[in-house]
Amino acid sequence: MTFRDYPDRDLMFLSVANTIAGQLADFLRREGKATLSVPGGTTPGPIFDILAAVELDWANVAVMLNDERWVPEDSPRSNTALLRHRLLTGKAAMAQLVPLYAPAPQPEDRLAELAEGIAPHLPISVLLLGMGADMHTASLFPGADRLEEALAPDAPVLMALRAEAAGEPRITLTAPALKGAMHTHILITGAEKRAALDRAAGLPPVQAPVRAVLDNATVHWAE
C-alpha cells in the first residue's frame, strides 16, 4: 500500500482527479478504450466535478460504480444519480454508463443481466474506492450475509449482499473484480477513517473488507 496525505481536501481532490485523468489518458492512448469504476457515497463528488471538466476521449471510457444501493434513481441514496449529476456531465457526458441498477424489487432479479453488461468492460483500468468508518469498501460490509463468498478468489464479478449497516440491499463488485483493477486508489477523509484504515491493515478481510484491496492500492487521505 502507498499512503499519501494532503494538507487539505481540495488539494487531494485535485491531485487524485489529475492522476485518474492521466491514467485514463494512458489507457486511451495505448488501447483506445478504458474503464473507470468509482464509488458512491458522500466523499467522491468533488473529484467527479473536476473530472467532468477534463478534456479526454470520454466516448471511449466506460464508467461504472463499484456498488449500488438497491433504490430507484430518484432516491437521494442512489449512487447512479450521483454519477449522472456530478460525473456524466460536461465533457464527460459522452462516457458510457455501465449500469449497476435496473428497476426491480430485489437485486437478484436483475443480477445476471447487470453482470453480463459489466463483463466486456473488465478488467477495470482505474478503480477509485471509498471506505466507511466500519472498514467497508464498495458494498463489502463487515457482517454482510454473503461476505465470505464475495471475498473468495472464485467469486462471480457481481453479487447482491445484505448487511444491517448497509440499510437497503446492495449490489457490489466482488473482491476478485476489484483486485483485478490496473490502478487502485482509495479516497478517505477525516481522523475516524484514518484510524479505521490503520486498524484494517492488521485485520483479515472478513473483519475489515477494505483489507482485500489494500496491497496494491494508493490511499489518499486528508483531514
Ligand X SMILES: O=C1O[C@H](COP(=O)(O)O)[C@@H](O)[C@H](O)[C@H]1O
Give the nearest distance from C-beta 28 to ligand X in angstroms: 25
Pairing outcome for strands 158-161 and 170-173: antiparallel
Residues that bind ligand X (CB under 6 A): 39-43, 66-67, 69, 79, 130, 132, 139
Of 60 and 207, CB closest to ligand X: 207
Of 92 and 169, CB closest to ligand X: 169
Question: Which positions ≥6 away from 67 have C-beta within 8 Å?
Answer: 39, 40, 79, 100, 138, 139, 170, 171, 172, 173
Give the nearest distance from C-beta 32 to ligand X in angstroms: 28
Q: How many CA within 13 A on the CB side of residue 128?
A: 27
Give the nearest distance from C-beta 148 to ligand X in angstroms: 20
Of 40 and 142, CB closest to ligand X: 40
Of 28 and 51, CB closest to ligand X: 51
> Look-up: residue for cell 482485500?
212
Q: Measure the CA–CA gap between 27 and 64, rounded to whole angstroms.
A: 16
Contact (Cβ atoms closer than 8 angstroms) between residue 23 and residue 29: no
Give the nearest distance from C-beta 194 to ligand X in angstroms: 13
